[in-house]
A and B are shown apart, each in its own frame.
Chain A
Amino acid sequence: MSRSKANTLTIRTPEGVVFSMQLAGPVTRFMAWAIDLAAISVISSMLNVIFGIIGFISRDIAMAVGILSYFVVSTGYGIATEWYWQGQTLGKRLLKLRVMDEQGLRLQFSQIVIRNLLRFVDSLPLFYMVGGLACLISRKAQRLGDFAANTVVVWNPSISKPDLDQLLEGKYNSFREYPHIEARLRQCAAPQEAGIALQAIMRRDELEPVARIELFHDIADHFKAVVEFPQEATDGISDEQFIRNVVDALYRTKNQVI
């Protein structure tokens, strides 16, 4: 396991497969905590109303139940939700955060309990100052509770597929005549290169006209160096159209079976 980038944790399995996870920063985590705090308040208020009914029978018992339920909810909320939702509280779910084992192993109940109980120290002296500072200093953005429990909090943004059909609809792609070359392009182009081409097409209207021509010219030159297309496929098309075709070849999933 290693840390490849400033906010990324990379895990390499013994089989040589590599995963990378984006670590959540203190600000996002603080926001998730604020949502959780609101959830705890709402749950406690609801329980107070429900248990308030006991007050008609005995005020003493109603108060006792109120004290106990607040303690159980405030201490047990994080433990229960993270256990039930496999590393997520309500706040973490909304902000797409997840608690994970530091080594990518299964999250254990004891890890969840420890990271939640150590909030007592992390929240000192006010507003998670100790935890926030630890998170900033730590290489893996861990507060003290995470450190003791061997956990990290990662950010899992859901990837929405770009609407390529809308972008490329009705456009003839001369590359489709050459499936073997398309396959070679898919194989040779790195994900970063494909991403650049896609972003250029999607943001093309934001560019100044001259910059737009120059940018597509540069990118087209780059891809022409990666894979050689027959002249009939590239004749008479602009650099921008060339890149459109490249993006279509790389990202096309219309007839895919999955």
Chain B
Amino acid sequence: MIIDLRKFIKEEKPYWDELESILDELEKGTGSRLDLTRLKRFHYLYQRTSADLAKFATFSSEPNIRRYVESLVGRAYGEIHETREKPHRLTPLHWFFTSFPRIFRKHIRAFGISFLAMLIGFALGGFAISIDPDAKEALIGFSHLKGDPSERVAKEEDVDEDRIEGRKTSFSSFLMTHNTKVSIFTLALGMTYGIGTIIMLFYNGVILGAIALDYIMAGEAWFLFGWLLPHGSIEIPAILLAGQAGLVLAGALIGWGKPLTLRNRLREVSNDLVTLIFGVAILLVWAGIVEAFFSQYHEPVIPYTVKIGFGAIELFLLAMFLSISGRKKKFA
């Protein structure tokens, strides 16, 4: 009960000001932590201001002061009851070489499902082309891939001038942004309980399988690997990682066997989703550069062995990076 409002405000205002200054400091995100004495003081001020707010609740006037005190309590509540760690200072190298591969390994089962969905699509796409070559028209969306593989290879290998001269950089940035959009979309489709993500991965697998079998059956396997491996060895795993992120989101929505509420499950995976999708974006930047500046050149400009070797090394390094990087060292 407040008898004399003016006296009450005069007495309490220094405490509100002090609480506000601590909150401003905490919210600036400078990484500074309160020592025990200040932490106790902060908690005391929060409780005192909460009590003031409770007194205002029985008091009809002063909506602005009440709202001000309410906002102070709200902010302090957010600081005190928040159990998630504050984001550290930006440490991109540590994030990329430690957090990213660790998160990948943490959700390895989701990656397995993602890989399986694309693999089944790949097998079905390949199977469809092997029994009915005319299915190519329906399965492959890219017009330049619908023709005869051998004719295309002959044409590509016969070209004297650089076809993408003067537009390599813009082509590269188009590939980066387009593939990143597709990846974000694959992640976002996790909201369909993963069905959309699975369909997306399966569909990409079908296209890939159809193209691969088409070229292999035409005897152009060497060209195919030389053309796809340099960028595909990064780009395809990146899409699989985006699918992994989508399935992690779906897993949190479904929540099999987890004794947590939906809200807490989603809260638990939010940092992991962001780490995965940012990691994917970085991989796709590299894949975009390789696809525009390297993949489009064939024999005799660049021997296929070099291209295949380059792609194989990339794939090996990526596999090593994702499986080993960021592991805790074991002490003897």
Contacts and interface: CB of A to CB of B under 8 A. Distances in A.
Co-assembled chains A and B: yes
Interface of A: 11, 13-19, 58-61, 63-65, 67-68, 71, 75, 86, 101-106, 108-111, 113-114, 117-121, 144, 147-150, 159, 161, 180, 183, 186-187, 189-191, 193-194, 250-253, 255-258
Interface in B1-16: 1-6, 9-10, 13
Interface in B86-138: 87
6 contacts: A13-B81, A110-B270, A117-B188, A150-B270, A183-B3, A251-B62
Contacts of A64: 169-170, 172-173
B61 A194 contact: yes
Interface string B157-178: 0000000001111101110110
A176 to B, nearest CB: 14
A189 B87 CA distance: 46
Contacts of B62: 251, 253
Nearest to A118: B188
A63 B172 CA distance: 11
Interface stretch (B69-77, B143-151, B215-223, B309-317): B69-77
Closest 10 CB pairs of A and B: A63-B170, A194-B60, A64-B173, A64-B169, A71-B177, A121-B188, A110-B270, A64-B170, A189-B60, A120-B188
B54 A16 contact: yes
B324 to A, nearest CB: 26
B266 to A, nearest CB: 6
A187 B47 contact: no
A11 B5 CA distance: 26
A157 to B, nearest CB: 10
Contact of A15 (B9, B47, B189): B47
Given A19-B73, A67-B177, A110 B9 contact: no
Given A110-B273, A119-B188, 4 more contacts: A17-B54, A17-B73, A68-B173, A144-B191
Interface in B274-326: 274, 277
B187 interface: yes
Contacts of B271: 108, 110
A60 B170 contact: yes
B166 A67 contact: no
B188 A250 contact: no
Contacts, number: 156
Contacts of A257: 6, 9-10, 13
Nearest to A75: B184
Contact of B87 (A17, A67, A108): A108
B169 A60 contact: yes
A120 B242 CA distance: 14
Contact of A105 (B13, B53, B78, B166): B78
B233 interface: no
A251 B84 CA distance: 41
A180 B2 CA distance: 11
A193 B61 CA distance: 10
B74 A148 contact: no
A60 B167 contact: yes
B59 interface: yes
A106 B78 contact: yes
A180 B78 CA distance: 38
A187 B1 contact: yes
A15 B49 CA distance: 11
A65 B266 CA distance: 36
A98 to B, nearest CB: 11
Contacts of A11: 74, 77
Contacts of A59: 166
B173 A121 contact: no
B191 A108 contact: no
Contacts of B70: 19
Interface in B187-220: 187-189, 191-192, 196
B263 A150 contact: yes
B196 to A, nearest CB: 8
In this complex, the member of A71, A106, A109, A159 whose beta carbon has the largest number of chain B beta carbons within 10 angstroms is A106
B180 A71 contact: yes
Contacts of B3: 180, 183, 187
Nearest to A70: B177
Contact of B2 (A68, A109, A161, A186): A186
Contacts of B263: 102-103, 150
A114 B263 CA distance: 14
Nearest to A60: B169
B32 interface: no
A101 B74 CA distance: 11
Nearest to B84: A108
In this complex, the member of A61, A64, A111, A190 whose beta carbon has the largest number of chain B beta carbons within 10 angstroms is A64
Contacts of A101: 78
Contact of B270 (A67, A105, A108, A189): A108
B249 interface: yes
B50 A13 contact: yes
A184 to B, nearest CB: 9
B173 A67 contact: yes
B9 A114 contact: no
A106 B60 contact: no
A29 to B, nearest CB: 18
